[in-house]
Chains A and B, each alone.
Chain A
Amino acid sequence: MKNQELVDFLRSCGVCEVCQLRYLKARGSEYKDIKETLRKLNVKLNENEENGGSIPQCEDQPAKKPRLSVCSTCLGLFSEDFQQELLAGILNSDFAKYDCQKIVLAISLPMTLQLRQLSMWYALQRTFGTTVDGTNPPDVPVKEAVKLILHPIICEKLGKEYDANGLMISIDLRHHLEEDGVEKLVKLNKEAFPAKAAHQKRIEISRGLLEKQYQPSKVKAETFEKYFQIPCTSAEEPLKLQTIELQGPLTCVAGRYRKLSREISHTPWVLNGKRVMEDSIEEIIIRSIGPHFTEKPEKIIFMSSGREDVDVRCLGKGRPFVLEIPNSIRSSLSREQAHQMEQAVDKSGKVSIVDLQVVAREELSHIKTGEEQKRKFYRALCVLKEPVTVEILEKLQIPDSFDIQQKTPIRVLHRRPLHTRPRTIYSVKARVQRQNPKALIVDIVTQAGTYIKELVHGEFGRTTPSLSSITGKAIDIQALDVVGIDLDWPPEVDNSLDSK
């Protein structure tokens, strides 16, 4: 089968030039200059096709008034008219309010399109015999051609780059013959693939099913022809652009927070419908950062590398956190804007954020993975019943690591399983407060997931050993500060620096 013969046949069925190239298995850049590619493939150009887009009438159709007919295999999907319509539709939408430089297109095609490729496949087999394979389609699939042709054109016209993480433009296409086509397909499916047993699950008709099960090698042409014409009928109407929906990209903003207040929870704390604590770290941070990026701050997800209790401060460099912002309108943050947000949070006097920056979605793993291996640095205010002695202090200078066994503390036992967890304590160093010999300041470095308060007083013997059992004295903890977190991410950024 020569290229010219194939093209002549396709033309006689009302197939447009782009689809002719598809059946010639053209690749990539070959679609840019259609006439040049056809010439290279030794195909004579049809004179009728000189005036952009006009397609010759199908031979077995009654003579009609010459007008721009629709390609019978792509239903106008690759026509210039459609491209204009698509671009206009996108520009008419909220497209302008998204600042993202990257886009991704998701076009949903009606199944009649696939049925038409199938019809053409049978027709080609009938006309050209065994040179046309029965298992592998003879054309470049429509989905692939869309990526090769439409994506680059749209990106170019909109001035954006194609990227899977960009603004998602969802295009819903319909066709007036779809309902009829699906009805016939259901009947065809019952005949071509009858359920072998009465209890066999009814197979759902889907694009995937069409792709996998429908080939000349699996379904006889005669069976197919009972419901669909071979080759496909010419269409009177092209594909209709039903809706265009936009979904902004997922933007991730990272930073570190410090917590000065002993009366603020990590996330909103609600009990029986009532707020227990007025505010939370999550809310303070989202309040200052969210509105810049999205119109729906309630959808933002707040994640941090561990957390501390309500009555525990977090000092030092601070605890790394990330905000996951879906459907974001803005996907970038200038140093100045970041600095302003940091200052706004500072005004609360309770929470402070630093190192604020936009990070790639792939970096989120820093926050969550390897949690168990991280080291945490604490300072505890501990209290004895009698004044401290040098002996007690010396017992609490432990530079070498040791292991403890912690049973689930009673304070969380109502909502956590009963479990004994081994933990490593890397070091302990105690100091005493001048003028207050019952007050000890103990610096402790532990493995992530250690309950510090229980480590100090031993919680009725359920944590062993404990500072209490090590010294043989009753020790209680009055206050706790987190003074460091062993995670070198996100990168330190001084947003107050002048960019000039």
Chain B
Amino acid sequence: MTTAMEDPLELFYFQHDEQTICGQPVSPITESFDVNYPSVVDRFFTRYYYFKGEVPYQVLYHSNRICLICLAPDHPALGQGISSVTFDVGNVDRSQNVVKGKAKRGGMILQAESTLALLTSESGETYKIPSCIRGKLVEVNTAVVEDPKLLEQLPEGAGYFAILLPKIENCDAIKASLLTQEQYEERLKTKKEAGDT
């Protein structure tokens, strides 16, 4: 007879194996649990922002200087719905980028205003996705071509356009040319206030 108290998870409860090392019992891995543990993005990346005209983009800057280029949360295309993405930007197809070795030789050298990709929204508008920083193109995320909705659905960072590797000597200048989270929020507030009046 099943009772209301029967626990469906009973078979799956964790049992810690006892062990002694350095003369002390080893603590179970569960002791490392942290309710406030930062997300993968927040652990390693700093969020920066770049405006192409009035359209905002997000640069996730890794502690090792690698950058992921994404749509900022307030990008208009997110409200309109994303229809398609292509890396063929006219005179060059970014998805043909090939890199070799540790130094990523052969990667396309991009400037902040170089076009990475073209995005078409459901309302018919086309956005030129800028590179946002000066650096070498390492990889484009072809998954968003096959499934553009990735850019809307996945937690931010998972929907990224490309991975760029800037030169070490340019890093300080690059960070100075981008907006911090604070500055981004300030600018949005100002825009909103200007729009309200």
Contacts and interface: CB of A to CB of B under 8 A. Distances in A.
B194 to A, nearest CB: 35
Nearest to B160: A460
A253 B41 CA distance: 42
A437 B9 contact: yes
A474 B157 CA distance: 13
B22 A434 contact: no
Interface string B124-162: 000000000000001101010000001000110110100
A315 B37 contact: no
Interface of B: 8-9, 12-15, 19, 21-24, 26, 29-30, 32-34, 37, 39-40, 44, 62, 64-66, 68, 99-102, 104, 138-139, 141, 143, 150, 154-155, 157-158, 160, 163, 165
B158 A460 contact: yes
A11 interface: no
Interface stretch (A52-60, A82-90, A196-204, A406-414): A406-414
A413 B100 contact: no
Interface string A404-424: 000100111111111000000
B40 A432 contact: no
Interface in A207-266: 258, 260, 262
Contacts of B165: 413-414
Nearest to A479: B32
A418 B143 CA distance: 17
B86 to A, nearest CB: 18
A388 interface: yes
Given A260-B22, A414-B65, A415-B102, A478 B13 contact: no
A431 B14 contact: yes
Nearest to A458: B158
Q: Is the interface of B mostly helix, strand, loop or mixed?
A: loop
Contacts of B100: 417
Given A315-B21, A430-B12, A383 B37 contact: yes
Contact of B29 (A381, A393, A430): A381
Nearest to B45: A410
A388 to B, nearest CB: 7
Interface stretch (A111-119, A163-171, A346-354): A346-354
User: Which 7 pairs across A and B sit closest by C-beta, in order of nearness?
Assistant: A479-B32, A431-B14, A414-B64, A441-B14, A460-B158, A346-B22, A381-B29
A434 B189 CA distance: 45
Contact of A315 (B12, B19, B24, B143): B19
A260 B30 contact: no
23 contacts: A258-B21, A260-B22, A260-B26, A346-B22, A351-B22, A383-B37, A410-B163, A413-B66, A417-B100, A417-B104, A418-B99, A418-B139, A432-B12, A432-B13, A437-B9, A439-B33, A460-B157, A476-B37, A476-B39, A478-B32, A478-B33, A478-B37, A479-B33
A461 interface: yes
Interface in A383-397: 383, 388, 390, 393
A380 B14 CA distance: 12
A4 B139 CA distance: 85
